[in-house]
Structure 1
Amino acid sequence: MRKWLLICFLLPVVFIACNRNKIVKIERDISITPVNSVTRLAVDSLQMEQYIQTQKLTDSAAQYLRNFYNSRNFQYAWVGEKGLTEQARVFYQLNKDYVDNFRDSSLLDVALDKKMELLMKEDTTFKKSDSTLSNLELKLTSHFFNYVSTAYEGKVNPEVIQWHIPRKKISAVVLLDSLMAHKNPNPENWEPVNQQYRLLKKELERYYSLQKSGKWAPIPITAKKKHQLGDTGVTVSLVKKRLQALGDSLILDTLPEFDQALKTAVKSTQQQYGFNPTGTIDASLLKALNVPIQKRIEQLLINLERMRWMPIMPVKSILANIPEYQLHVFEDHKQVFSMGIVVGKAANKTVIFSNKLRNIVFSPYWNVPASIVRKEILPAMSRNRNYLASTNMEQIGTSNGLPVIRQKPGDNNSLGRVKFLFPNSYDIYFHDTPAKSLFSEEKRAFSHGCIRLEQPVKLADYLLADQPSWTPERIAKAMKSNKEIWVTLKTPVPVFITYFTAWVDQDGRLNFRDDIYGHDQTMAEQLFLAAK
């Protein structure tokens, strides 16, 4: 079973939107004096106001600046008598790394960069503040606010891909105060990003190095459609080289012989791309290995952007990742189990959102959506007058000129024998299915939008474990009833339906999946095309 590395945020932060919420003015902290201050260098309040006017800062940006310096009685944050503070050096390196990794020139200030490079290299002392030094200090603070907005909140509006999971909340002011509070800040502990983000960012750096090395020549597709254990040929040798470049430690040679080590490595690689692990080199694997490295880099950047949006994950949660066709259950930030899922086809996309699972319904009715009644049921009824009876359905009324139809509980019910409800306006939920054969497919986008579960009984047992009266025997009996049985969970469980096409799994392997709904392409137009 494929494994997913938990997407969880470890740093609780609060965001105050620059132009949406009123910013409360912070009064000057006069308890900070030259005797107890960190530095005797201080910004002149008139110089700060001149800077605000010259830089044409928005009202909110200006108030952020005033509040920050009022809270420290105008003492410098980035520069001390002995030169740049440790916080300034950490921030400068973070900003530099971001520009290098994400190729984002919007955070590249050439003049500021040159000044910082000079100060980083020289042993400099400052005895008093002047206008040049104050401007550097204020510029760094303003740049920090811009950096947080871009690097940690993201550049793309989640709505462009109908991402309805509440966005991660960040406060640039709280982060700045936190940075200043640490004498020797460690970015690993300070940055408001999750472990999955950090791991994927390291993979991005690795792919940049791989791109620079030039070790990504296309692997020619030969007439032989499959290569397996015992085969020889140029393709075998080239696949070995590619897997070596990707970091597979099992491949020790590039001989054109398909040996057991290559078979084991191929199985692992197939899992990383979402293929069945046959251990055979086929057209699907070669196609995945031949994706241009620049496209893979863009895919990593797109998914890093999405990871910036993710909120703090609860201790216990359920995550369904649409392109992966997998559902994962987490407890204490560790994966408890996973299972295959069937998601909505391209014409009936499963919505990206979050809510809390509150109810389990055993032996459910399926209330057929009006769109399905119109497009599928009515035409079938016109062809066969006994269609409803033959499919265990019944008409229970009319609405807006359409018959209201439901399918009664039973083995052939489209929802199977159980459904899991987390109330939402999209009418999406988890459910069983009589079409078990679909789970043997690699690509499983077949539904009308709801998510079908490969192991619904396992999920029901898990969710009802804290309700002793719901034994496995009682659950099995409820699933064979001829009437609906509703159960309310003692503690609702958060559910996140996500869309990630790249991530690092619990075994440390980088995974890629197809962009089944075109969301990557939509985001690429926002992130990359404008810069070309």
Structure 2
Amino acid sequence: MKIHKYLLFAFIFSLLHFCSKKTEITDFTENTEQAKYSASYERGLVNDGEILDVNFDPTLIGAFSTQTEKKLDLDSIGYFFNEFKEFAPYKNEIRQFYKNRSSAYAWFDKDGLSEQADHLAVRLMNLEKDGIKIDLPYHKRFHSMMDNEIAKEDEEKVELMLTSQYIAYSKRTFEGKADELAKSADWLKAAGKYDAVEMMSSAVQNGGKIFTDEPTHRHFTSLKEKILDFHNKGLDTVTYQFPAGTYKMGDSSAVISKIRERLFLLGDLKTNEPSGEFDKEMLSAVHHFQYRHSLDSSGVIGKSFLESLNVPGRDRLERMLVNLERMRWISPEDDEYLMVNIPAYKLFAYNSQDYLWDMDVIVGTSNRRTVAFSDKMSYIDFSPYWNIPPGILKRKIIPAMNRSSSYLARNGMEKVGKLTRDIPLIRQKPGPKNPLGKAKFMFPNTYNIYLHDTNEKYLFKSKNKAQSSGCVRVANPLKLAKFVLKDNKDITDSIIVEKMNEGKENRIVLAKKMPVYLTYYTTWVDHNGNLMFSNDIYKRDRKLKAMLMKNIVEPVVKTPENNEKARSGKI
């Protein structure tokens, strides 16, 4: 994971700096070097005319939840500091922070931890791996809190721990720097918001540069190019809604003619011949649109097709910018790496930024979400044991053991110790009933997330592949094992197959560690240059938009009045 300086929030605060002087947004982009300097000054990175090399991630600054319903009991702050005394120097700042927010939680929304809370936790828990030498208090307690499911009664403590860690990080980042510099980087102020369309107009005038300093990895650059093309074609201003209907091969309609025009602009239809016919060329375009939007490849224009086609252009633009922001958080720049795109249900392999292959994966449910982070795979356990998690032990295994003394033996399980005085440590033996299948691919991390085979292969045929407890199940473990072990010259393909089917756990350490990136991109560009969209399975896009942007497009509410407007072409 590489930290990029002077990115989105630097851009935003520079924009605010100029707007306070009643300078138009277009003025901001006329001088890139001046903009970079101004952005740095706003964030406390300039001293005596020089831009300071302060090692921190600007995407963390001011990235607070926008919810206002969930409130903190300010009296609980005192109890928190009684338990975590090393944070006591920040007590007054934290009290003032929550007073300014009218006591609203900064890291939770109505569904639990916000996406930015996960981002903060991942960054702070990986400081050492990123080469940042900042020692934060209660590091292990923080890990423990974030690793486990957060009970309702613990939310207040986790909220205050996140804020305290965030403030401690901000203070120690500027340790040894002048006081005025530390103060000028206003970490306790919510970041300013930008207007998506104005931002794109500014980028066009700035030679296509959206941000002051930009990553160079293929995922960022390819999506940025698509965003600029989308804006230049005027697609971000499209609001026309196609009326409900069903159209298939051989049909003819004036509506089909308009749909052809839209598909041509979107790049799905190759030629723009004025026609109301649903011909072979139109069928190919419909299939292509359905592929790009993760729809069933029926070749029929129906409800789901039109709902995707009717998404307002500005909403599409905002969604693309949200994902461009995410592409700063985890930035792959390795010679070879694996990338899981969680909402796309895909694992991709890359070599020097070039696509090699992909396979389907099963990811966490909405209640047991797969976390976005990165690490390096170091070994594979073939024919693995499965150490049954405490939650499953309590819910399922222990009650079954109480009902039948032979339950463990019948299900290939064994007791190997104790987790606590009352809870036994139970593992499942290698074999056909083991949910880890024939291999697990380990990159040890604080979240206890890894890739593994599965004994439930039928799930890969399901449209909804968010069905795991957080780990990532892979469709083809043999292919993955061959790829990551290719530098182990003594390990042949036949040895891998033998180990997978041996029925006895054995470990092979990778000769060369393999970087693994778990990402959450609902919009990206595939290896053929197609702009792809997937379902927002964890409902994160709109929340991140609300934090980053103003003048957000709200979805059209389906009412009889709006349906009539759609039919008449008024919306």
Q: What is the match of residue 294 of structure 2?
A: 274
1:30-41 → structure 2 map (5 Å cutoff):
none
Counterpart-to-counterpart distance in 2, 1:107 and 1:507: 40
After superposition, what is the alpha-carbon deviation per residue over 1:466-524, rounded to whole angstroms, capped at 9, x for unaligned? 22322111111111112101000011111111111111222221111222112223312
Counterpart-to-counterpart distance in 1, 2:417 and 2:512: 35
Q: What is the match of residue 456 of structure 2?
A: 435
- TM-score, normalized by length of structure 2? 0.62
| 1:426 counterpart = 2:322 | no
Count of aligned pairs: 408
Q: What is the match of residue 153 of structure 2?
A: none
Q: What is the match of residue 118 of structure 2?
A: 162
Instruction: Output the amino acid matched with 2:16.
Output: S
1:249-264 → structure 2 map (5 Å cutoff):
249-264=269-284
Q: What is the match of residue 497 of structure 1?
A: 518
Q: 1:212 to 1:530 in 2, by over 3 A?
A: closer
Q: What is the match of residue 454 of structure 1?
A: 475
Q: Which runs of 5+ in 1 are unaligned?
A: 1-8, 18-93, 122-136, 172-184
1:267-346 → structure 2 map (5 Å cutoff):
267-346=287-366
Q: What is the match of residue 355 of structure 1?
A: 375
Whether the aligned pair in 2 keeps the contact of 1:432 and 1:456 (CA below 8 Å) is: yes
Whether the aligned pair in 2 keeps the contact of 1:348 and 1:447 (CA below 8 Å) is: yes
**1:348 partner SS:** coil
Q: Which runs of 5+ in 2 are unaligned?
A: 46-56, 64-113, 133-172, 174-205, 554-571
Q: 1:215 to 1:116 in 2, by over 3 A?
A: closer
Instruction: Output the amino acid matched with 1:270.
Output: Q
Whether the aligned pair in 2 keeps the contact of 1:240 and 1:251 (CA below 8 Å) is: no
Q: What is the match of residue 38 of structure 2?
A: 142
| 1:201 counterpart = 2:224 | yes
Structure 1 residue 338: deviation in Å?
0.9
After superposition, what is the alpha-carbon deviation per residue over 1:83-105, rounded to whole angstroms, capped at 9, x for unaligned? xxxxxxxxxxx99xx98xx9995
After superposition, what is the alpha-carbon deviation per residue over 1:176-206, rounded to whole angstroms, capped at 9, x for unaligned? xxxxxxxxx9988994322433332333334
**1:360 partner SS:** strand
**1:327 partner SS:** strand
Which stretch has the larger CA shift, 497-506 or 454-463?
Answer: 497-506
Counterpart-to-counterpart distance in 2, 1:244 and 1:415: 45
Counterpart-to-counterpart distance in 2, 1:103 and 1:141: 12
Counterpart-to-counterpart distance in 2, 1:232 and 1:186: 43
Whether the aligned pair in 1 keeps the contact of 2:6 and 2:39 (CA below 8 Å) is: no
Q: What is the match of residue 203 of structure 2?
A: none
Whether the aligned pair in 1 keeps the contact of 2:546 and 2:552 (CA below 8 Å) is: no
Structure 1 residue 252: deviation in Å?
3.0
Structure 1 residue 459: deviation in Å?
0.7
Structure 1 residue 530: deviation in Å?
9.1
Whether the aligned pair in 2 keeps the contact of 1:300 and 1:502 (CA below 8 Å) is: yes
Whether the aligned pair in 2 keeps the contact of 1:156 and 1:526 (CA below 8 Å) is: no
After superposition, what is the alpha-carbon deviation per residue over 1:382-401, rounded to whole angstroms, capped at 9, x for unaligned? 55554433332222233221
Counterpart-to-counterpart distance in 2, 1:323 and 1:207: 22
Q: What is the match of residue 409 of structure 2?
A: 389
Whether the aligned pair in 1 keeps the contact of 2:377 and 2:442 (CA below 8 Å) is: yes
After superposition, what is the alpha-carbon deviation per residue over 1:112-163, rounded to whole angstroms, capped at 9, x for unaligned? 8589979x89xxxxxxxxxxxxxxx9998435644999xx944664962512
Q: What is the match of residue 427 of structure 2?
A: 406
**2:367 partner SS:** helix
**1:397 partner SS:** strand
Counterpart-to-counterpart distance in 2, 1:278 and 1:103: 47
Whether the aligned pair in 1 keeps the contact of 2:6 and 2:212 (CA below 8 Å) is: no
**2:497 partner SS:** helix
Counterpart-to-counterpart distance in 2, 1:148 and 1:520: 30
After superposition, what is the alpha-carbon deviation per residue over 1:224-247, rounded to whole angstroms, capped at 9, x for unaligned? 4xx432334455444323212313
Whether the aligned pair in 1 keeps the contact of 2:6 and 2:40 (CA below 8 Å) is: no
Counterpart-to-counterpart distance in 2, 1:139 and 1:233: 51
Instruction: Output the amino acid matched with 2:365.
Output: K
- TM-score, normalized by length of structure 1? 0.67
Counterpart-to-counterpart distance in 2, 1:521 and 1:386: 50
1:173-212 → structure 2 map (5 Å cutoff):
191-194=213-216, 195-209=218-232
Structure 1 residue 211: deviation in Å?
5.3
Counterpart-to-counterpart distance in 2, 1:140 and 1:329: 35
Whether the aligned pair in 2 keeps the contact of 1:161 and 1:523 (CA below 8 Å) is: no
Q: 1:440 to 1:276 in 2, by over 3 A?
A: farther
Counterpart-to-counterpart distance in 1, 2:453 and 2:384: 10
Instruction: Output the amino acid matched with 1:200.
Output: L
Q: 1:529 to 1:112 in 2, by over 3 A?
A: closer
* Bigger radius of gyration among the two: 1
1:361-380 → structure 2 map (5 Å cutoff):
361-380=381-400
Structure 1 residue 109: deviation in Å?
4.0
Residue identity over aligned pairs, in percent, reads 32
Instruction: Output the amino acid matched with 1:413.
Output: N
Counterpart-to-counterpart distance in 1, 2:274 and 2:355: 37
Name the Cα RMSD after superposition.
Answer: 4.0
1:84-95 → structure 2 map (5 Å cutoff):
none
Whether the aligned pair in 1 keeps the contact of 2:14 and 2:35 (CA below 8 Å) is: no
Whether the aligned pair in 1 keeps the contact of 2:364 and 2:469 (CA below 8 Å) is: yes
Counterpart-to-counterpart distance in 2, 1:103 and 1:423: 37
Q: 1:297 to 1:389 in 2, by over 3 A?
A: same
After superposition, what is the alpha-carbon deviation per residue over 1:390-447, rounded to whole angstroms, capped at 9, x for unaligned? 3322222332212222111112210010110000111110000121121122331000
Among 474, 484, 502, the alignment partner of 2:495 is 474
Structure 1 residue 529: deviation in Å?
5.3
Whether the aligned pair in 2 keeps the contact of 1:161 and 1:522 (CA below 8 Å) is: no
Whether the aligned pair in 2 keeps the contact of 1:169 and 1:311 (CA below 8 Å) is: no
**2:219 partner SS:** helix
Counterpart-to-counterpart distance in 2, 1:414 and 1:115: 55
Whether the aligned pair in 2 keeps the contact of 1:275 and 1:442 (CA below 8 Å) is: no
1:71-90 → structure 2 map (5 Å cutoff):
none
Whether the aligned pair in 2 keeps the contact of 1:229 and 1:280 (CA below 8 Å) is: yes
**1:204 partner SS:** helix
Q: What is the match of residue 106 of structure 1?
A: 16
Counterpart-to-counterpart distance in 1, 2:454 and 2:488: 25
Q: What is the match of residue 534 of structure 2?
A: 513
